[in-house]
Structure 1
Amino acid sequence: MGDMALNVFALFVPMVVVIVILAVFLSFVPLGLWISAISAGVRVSIFSLVGMRLRRVRADKIIRPLIKAQKAGMNVNANQLESHALSGGRVDNVVDALIAAHRANLDLSFERAAAIDLAGRNVFEAVRMSVTPKIIETPWISAVAINGIEVKVIAKVTVRANLARLVGGAGEETIIARVGEGIVTTVGSSQSHKGVLENPDLISRTVLAKGLDNGTAFEILSIDIADVDIGRNIGAHLQIQQAEADKQIAQAQAEERRATAIATEQEMKAEVEKMKAKVVEAEAEVPMALAEALRSGNLGVMDYYKMQNVLSDTAMKNNVGNTDLTKMFGANNDTDGMPKV
């Protein structure tokens, strides 16, 4: 019994070792993927698959696109695809773009397709756009004609991707901005909004002639005006605002002049009050001056009485003259203020 157990143990241990070795081998080598590649006519060695696993590259992301490329007749190898995958690119997308470009007779190499993909653009969509142009619709673009009427325009821009300018070329936002600028310029140079409504194709012809696709990743094929609408009377609105502003300025200036006049009047009143105060002060000094003259002998008593008599006579004559004039002109005045004859 002991010898039999030893024999069974001796047979069991090698089998376990073989199973462990096979498990480790299959964990590093995708055997099913290797068989699929061989059956598709793609020559890939076991060691290449093991190397991809060690470099932490998913073999299925390389082998399956490689099978598609080779079946489509593309000259692409596993090293190129693996290098692109290690750079962070989308291998499957690049291979689909190459196949689509090859079927459409477009000149697109693997290096250019990989560069476009690494630049962050969808190279497959770009190839499709090169074959089937895309229509970009602008939002409502507001412009004002010379007569002050606002014109709103929606344009549809038909573009085709330019594969040679995809790397470093501007995107759709630039196309929309340039078309909007061209519409504003064209409408702004029109004498009247009626001319824009009568010939909307003038906008598309003028904008298209400006070469708006320079420096972009697209080629503009056509610009079509989809809708034209009339907005506000901007000129009249601006005139109303200007008139209101002029009115406020005039009111402010009038208020300033009024404040200046009031200040001047107050200053003049203050000056008059000062002069009155000086007169009162001077009149108060007259008796003192007369008393001093009497004391010093410069003025005699009889001279003082004579001066008082002269002043009294003068006051009486003034009163009599005023009374006579009042009686004469007050009793005989007509409605026009002239005395009757």
Structure 2
Amino acid sequence: MEMTVLLLAVFGGIILFFIFLYFVPVNLWITAQFSGVKVGLAELVFMRIRKVPPSIVVNSLITVTKAGIQVTTNQLETHYLAGGHVPSVIKALISAEKANIALDFNQAAAIDLAGRDVFEAVQISVNPKVITTPRVAAVASDGIQLIAVARVTVRANLAQLVGGAGEDTILARVGEGIVTSIGSALTHKEVLENPDKISKLVLSRGLDAGTAFEILSIDIADVDVGKNIGADLQTDQAAADLKVAEAKAEERRAMAVAVEQEMKAKAQEARAKVILEEAEIPKAIADAFRSGNLGVMDYYKMQNIQADTDMRESISKPQSGSSKKPDKK
């Protein structure tokens, strides 16, 4: 019984010892003291209670203190609780200090909380970054298409990182400037001979206004000749005009066919009326015989006159396929 109680006491003591070490990070406190950072044990315990990792705060504070930058534990805790990346901010402050770039903790913390990599921004301020634009197609005044690729050298503007536009805006503005400069050229040969005019014109427009970068230079890397857009447009216009003319001609032909059909219908209607009128002639002759207005001799004379008229008409009409042969002498 006594042995069991002793074992439980030892086990409980070990658990209490590890709990004590968890809430009271003595190792960190000793490291901070030997590094010249004044941090109390109670302050480390309160960090645990506030769910702030003491190791991140103490190690970052040691690093920044050795670099000669004044930062308090309260600032580091506040930034961590706000969702920031404390080690990244500390590295950015040290890098800016070594490069003689004006950057304080509040500004670096604001940049970090804005979602930007503050350490990368400082690196770009020290070593400018080259951004390659996609292939930008534009058409000169003579209708020839040119495809240009530019390389934009930028440097981070720390004062405008918070709220400033990013790389996409820079690329869009540079592309717009390339299109404008090529479009204002009289001929494509003018652009090919002096591609630096494009970069000078684009650079003079102040495209980095309101962005998180400062444009140092714009260099045209490549200019290729594309399609003859002017000729293609003229060909398309000619094809469209041809289709319009064909449509109008078809419309006129259809109208002519309709008029012809209408005339044929009228002619058939007239012939039908003539046939109907001719069908009434025998009736009229019969009525004349019955009424005594027409005699038999008169009828025969009329028939002879009609036969003579038909013969004369047949003689006057030319016979198809007949040709006169010359007399042989």
> CA shift at 1:215, angstroms?
1.6
Task: Note closer, same or farther for the CA distance 1:277–1:91 as it changes in structure 2 (3 Å cut).
Answer: same
Residue 75 (1) aligns with residue 74 (2): no
94, 106, 116: which one pairs with 1:111? 106
Classify 1:316/1:36 alpha carbon distance in 2 versus 1 (closer, same or farther; 3 Å): same
User: Which is worse superposed, 184-193 or 102-111?
Assistant: 102-111
SS at match of 1:300: coil
Residue 57 (structure 1) aligned with residue 49 (structure 2)? no
2:311 is aligned, of 306, 319, 327, to 319
Shift of 1:226: 1.5
User: Which residue of 230, 240, 256 corresponds with 1:261?
Assistant: 256
Map residues 1-341 of structure 1 onto 2, 5 A cutoff. Answer: 18-291=13-286, 297=291, 300-302=293-295, 306=298, 309-310=301-302, 312-313=304-305, 315-317=307-309, 319-320=311-312, 323=315
Kindly tell me: are residues 290 and 38 of structure 1, through their superposed partners in 2, closer, same or farther at Cα, counting changes over 3 Å?
farther
Structure 2 distance, partners of 1:310, 1:189, is 95
- Residue 307 (structure 1) shift: 6.6
Instruction: In structure 2, list runs of 5 or more residues that go unmatched.
Output: none
What SS does the aligned partner of 2:111 have? helix
Note the alpha carbon deviations across 1:157-182, whole angstroms, 9 max, x for none: 11111111111111111111111111
The 1:289/1:34 distance shift into structure 2, 3 A limit, reads farther
Query: Number of aligned pairs?
Result: 324
**Distance (whole Å) between structure 2 residues aligned to residue 182 and residue 241 of structure 1:** 29
Partners of 1:147 and 1:13 lie apart in 2 by 95
Task: Give 1:72 shift.
Answer: 1.3
Q: CA deviation at 1:103?
A: 2.2
CA RMSD in angstroms comes to: 3.0
User: How far apart are 1:206 and its partner, in Å?
Assistant: 0.7
Pick closer, same or farther for the CA change 1:333–1:246 going to 2, 3 Å: farther
Distance in 1, Cα, partners of 2:289 & 2:228: 92
Report the Cα offset of residue 57 of structure 1. 2.1
Structure 1 residue identity aligned to 2:237? Q
Identity %: 52
Deviations 1:145-201 (A, max 9, x none): 111112121111111111111111111111111111111111111111111111111
Which residue does the alignment assign to 1:339?
none
